[in-house]
Chains A and B, each alone.
Chain A
Amino acid sequence: MKRTVELGFLLALALILSYVESLIPFSFGIPGIKLGLPNLIVLLLLYEGTWKEALLVNGLRIILSGFLFSNLYTILYALSGAVFSFAGMYVGRRTKRFSMVGVSVLGGVLHNVGQLLVAMAVVETLAVAYYAPYLIAAGTVTGTLIGLTGREILPYLQRVEREGE
């Protein structure tokens, strides 16, 4: 029961971050470039919880924020990026070779590459391939920022959980 409440809190936090992100005009005219703030919560859960909890919160976050701030079409598109991103971060976490920064970079880059591949499949064209360098570079930079933030926050989150027991 207590864990359910904690996950609920983290889900609410992820939703707020989704909303904050939708307010920041951070686009550079290249589609797909964004900060990935909600990914911070998924990253923290991968370290502080189980992968199933991280997956659950991530899935619910995308569906709920989709219905709140955008539409069904965006949900499907976001889910496709999330599948790639989550798989990358899960594997990165499991190997234990990366720090939070490395795991977050894997998530950021794979999210962008995944969405690009889905976009290619949907419109049946290779024309979007020229976005690849921008998206990989952007994923690396935003992933690093989110990873560094996560590294600072994790000890506090763990302390809160310990004190709650």
Chain B
Amino acid sequence: MTRADAVLLLFCLLIAAAFALWSAFGRREGGILLLSCDGEVVDKSRLREFDGYGKGKAASERVRYCLLLYTEEDILCEWYDSEPDLTLTVPEGVSYNLLSVSSSGVSMEAADCPDQICVHHIPIMREGESIICLPHRLVVEIKGGNAAGRQAES
């Protein structure tokens, strides 16, 4: 190990720590779930409306599901109160992402993308966090603020 090595190691760890601190202080529990594809908004929902969202295991175990279908013309977004049967709801040749919103946060339940990175992602819950499905160019993002939530509603 040379001196330059030590400086580099310290520099990288400091940058990482600074970034982590900055985002930890700036982040609260999110208010809005924003789904976008290619930079265009597909769906916007207020997380308040979901029972027990982000309240931990003790809260209600109700889970809501959101199925995204990528048809040739458009992206369809459908909400379900119970897990939809993908063999019935997904037409042949159409790719999909299935999201769930529950007490442990928002997570990707299933997708037919080749890398499955989005499916293995840990659940997201706080403002600024996101799950990205690169093959489908889908961004699932949690935005903060209740004021912004009302704006979205109107």
Contacts and interface: CB of A to CB of B under 8 A. Distances in A.
A102 B17 contact: no
A125 B114 contact: no
Interface string A57-98: 000000000000011011001000000000000000001011
A156 interface: no
A98 B9 CA distance: 11
Interface in A26-47: 27-31
Given A31-B121, A133-B23, A140-B16, A123 B4 contact: no
Chain A contact residues: helix, strand, loop or mixed:
helix
B62 interface: no
A99 interface: yes
B109 interface: no
B134 A130 contact: no
Given A122-B137, A132-B19, A133-B20, A105 B9 contact: yes
Nearest to A120: B132
Contact of B2 (A70, A98, A106): A98
Contacts of B36: 125
Contacts of A133: 15-17, 19-20, 23
20 contacts: A30-B121, A73-B135, A77-B134, A98-B5, A102-B2, A102-B5, A105-B12, A123-B38, A123-B134, A127-B128, A127-B130, A127-B141, A128-B132, A130-B130, A132-B16, A133-B16, A133-B19, A133-B23, A137-B12, A140-B9
Interface of B: 1-2, 4-5, 8-9, 12-13, 15-17, 19-20, 23, 36, 38-39, 114-115, 117-118, 120-122, 128-130, 132, 134-135, 137-139, 141
Given A28-B122, A127-B132, 17 more contacts: A29-B120, A71-B115, A73-B134, A73-B135, A98-B4, A99-B1, A102-B1, A102-B8, A105-B12, A123-B138, A125-B39, A128-B132, A133-B16, A133-B20, A140-B12, A140-B13, A140-B16
